[in-house]
Structure 1
C-alpha cells in the first residue's frame, strides 16, 4: 500500500506530536505545528491521535499525490481547495479515495497548514520514539527531509475502527474517485481561522523587567508576522519593546508558544522546531488553547496579545481537550451505528 508523490509542494513533511523526553540531551521536540489539526485528522480515520501524518505548508499550490491502493484519509487544518481527479473534496471528514486517484492540494483561502492523515498512519522508521521530520538535523520522517517528486510512502495496518469506516464508505462509492459521509467536523468549532487574530497569553517570568510603556504596548499594539518566520519561530515586527535596564540572563527552558524579546525589541514566538533553551527575556507565553490559531498565521498578518490568568489558561485547555475527547467518542459511535 503506497502513495506516490507527483508534486511535493513548498514544504510537505511527515509529522506526529514530536519526540518528547530528549530536550535534556539537546534534541528538540519538533512535531506538527498545529497539533490539534493533526490529532483531529487522525481521529477522523480511526487512528490514535498521535499517528504520523503529512503536514502540508500552503503558501502556494500544495502537493499532488497518487494512491496506488484504495485508502481512507482525512484532511484538516487550513481552509483551501482539495481536489480528487478534478472533483472538489470536502475537508474535515473521512474520505475513501479510490485506487489510482490523484489528490491535489490547491491554493489556500485562510490559514497556512493542512494535515492529511491516512488509516494506519504513515509507515516510516521511528527515531527517538517519534516519526516527525526534523529537517535541520536530517532525522525522522521520510529520509529526514521534505517530500520530493517520485517519493513513495507506505501506510501501516488499519485499526478495526478504520476498517468499519472503510466498509461503510464503500457502499457510497460511485463513479467518482472518492466517497465521503454526509457529516463533517465543524472546523469553526475547533479552529476558527481569523485574519489578524487576538491571541491569549500569560505573562512571562521577565515581563516585569520591561518598561511600563512596553508592557502596555504588548497588549495594546498589533505586531506583524514577518517573512523571516519558519517552523522554529515567528519573528514579529512592531514598536520595539524595551527593558528597564540591561538584563544578563543564563539560558532557561523555553516551550511551544514562548514569546522572547531579543535586543532589537521585536518579539519572537517560539514554535514546533524551537531550541531547547533560550537566553532572551520571556515576556509572555501563548496559552495552549490558542497555539493552533498562531501556527495557521501567514507572513504579513498581524497579531494582538490579550493577557489571561493561569487559571483561565488551564480552564480553556481542559475545555478544548474535552471537546476532542467527545469528538473521538462521536466518531466511534458514528462508525458503528
Structure 2
C-alpha cells in the first residue's frame, strides 16, 4: 500500500498460486510483493516490490508461482468492500466479509476506492522499490526461527533434539489456517489433559499423532494441543509461502533476539515510509 500511494490499511488482494488476470477501468498505481510470481502489465514485467501505472484497459496478469504460494496486490484507492467486525478481510471458511464472503471468480467486477490525489508524481512511478527483505521469497528449505512455547518442557531432550535437527515436509492438507508438517513424531513425556489456551499465528502445536501444525493468519484464537514453540514474527512471511512438498527446519533463538529482529524490521519500514514521503513532495 505504501508503494501504491494509498493508506497502509487499505484492502488489497491475496493471490494463491497465481492465475489471476485483471483489466482496469481507470488509471491506478499498483504494487505487489510475495512469492516467486511472473507478473505482467500487458507484456511488461512488474517485479515484486516495485510499483507501476496501470492505465484504463490495461491487463495485469499473475502467472502461476514458481516458488512460494502467495502474493499480495495493492491498488491505489484500495478494494472497496464493507467493514465486517472491523475488517475488510474475507473469512472463506465462514463465508463472510470481503467480496461477498468468497474468493473471486471469472467475470467479477471489483469496486475500487477513491484514488489518492496525485500522491505519487507520474515521473517517479517504478523508480522506487521495497527493501529486499520485503520482496524476497523463501529458500527451498527455509529455517524458521522460534522461541520456546508454553509446553516446551513437556517434551524430552531427545524429542526436542529431533525438533531442532530434522527436516519436516509440508503436507497437502495445509491452508491459511495452518501448515501441517510431516516428519518425526514428537510425543510428550506425560499424557495430562491440557486446558485450552490462547494461540496466535506462529504457534506450533503438537496433536496426539505427533505431527506438527504451524498456525497461520486464519488460525483460531484458542487451542488445546501442546504448544512446543512459536515462530518469530519476522519469519511468518516465510512460513506463509510454504507449499505442499516443501521442507522446513527450525532454529531456536532467544526472546531478546526475536524482539531485536522485529525492532530492526520496523525501523527499516519507517525509513522506507520517510523516503517515500520525501520523494512524493
TM-score (norm: length of structure 1): 0.80
- Of stretches 102-111 and 136-145 in structure 1, the one that deviates more from structure 2 is 102-111
Note the alpha carbon deviations across 1:295-323, whole angstroms, 9 max, x for none.
01111111111111111111111111111
Q: Which runs of 4+ in 1 moved over 6 A?
A: none
Q: CA separation in 2, counterparts of 1:320 and 1:87?
A: 31
5 Å-filtered alignment, 1:1-337, equals: 42-58=1-17, 61-160=18-117, 163-165=118-120, 168-169=121-122, 180-188=125-133, 191-336=136-281
2:67/2:137 contact within 8 Å kept: no
Q: CA separation in 2, counterparts of 1:158 and 1:250?
A: 49
Q: CA separation in 1, counterparts of 2:137 and 2:91?
A: 28
Q: Note closer, same or farther for the CA distance 1:62–1:94 as it changes in structure 2 (3 Å cut).
A: same
What is residue 35 of structure 1 aligned with on the other side?
none
Q: CA separation in 2, counterparts of 1:77 and 1:190?
A: 6
Q: Note closer, same or farther for the CA distance 1:193–1:103 as it changes in structure 2 (3 Å cut).
A: same
What is the deviation of 1:190? 5.5
Q: Which runs of 5+ in 1 are unaligned?
A: 1-41, 173-179
What is the deviation of 1:101? 1.0
What is residue 12 of structure 1 aligned with on the other side?
none
Alignment partner of 1:317: what SS?
Answer: helix
Alignment partner of 1:107: what SS?
Answer: coil
Q: CA separation in 2, counterparts of 1:279 and 1:261?
A: 10
Q: Note closer, same or farther for the CA distance 1:191–1:247 as it changes in structure 2 (3 Å cut).
A: farther
What is the deviation of 1:88? 2.2
Q: Note closer, same or farther for the CA distance 1:190–1:57 as it changes in structure 2 (3 Å cut).
A: closer
The count of aligned residue pairs is: 281
What is residue 37 of structure 1 aligned with on the other side?
none
Alignment partner of 2:274: what SS?
Answer: helix
1:74/1:118 contact within 8 Å kept: yes
Alignment partner of 2:37: what SS?
Answer: strand
Q: Which runs of 5+ in 2 are unaligned?
A: none
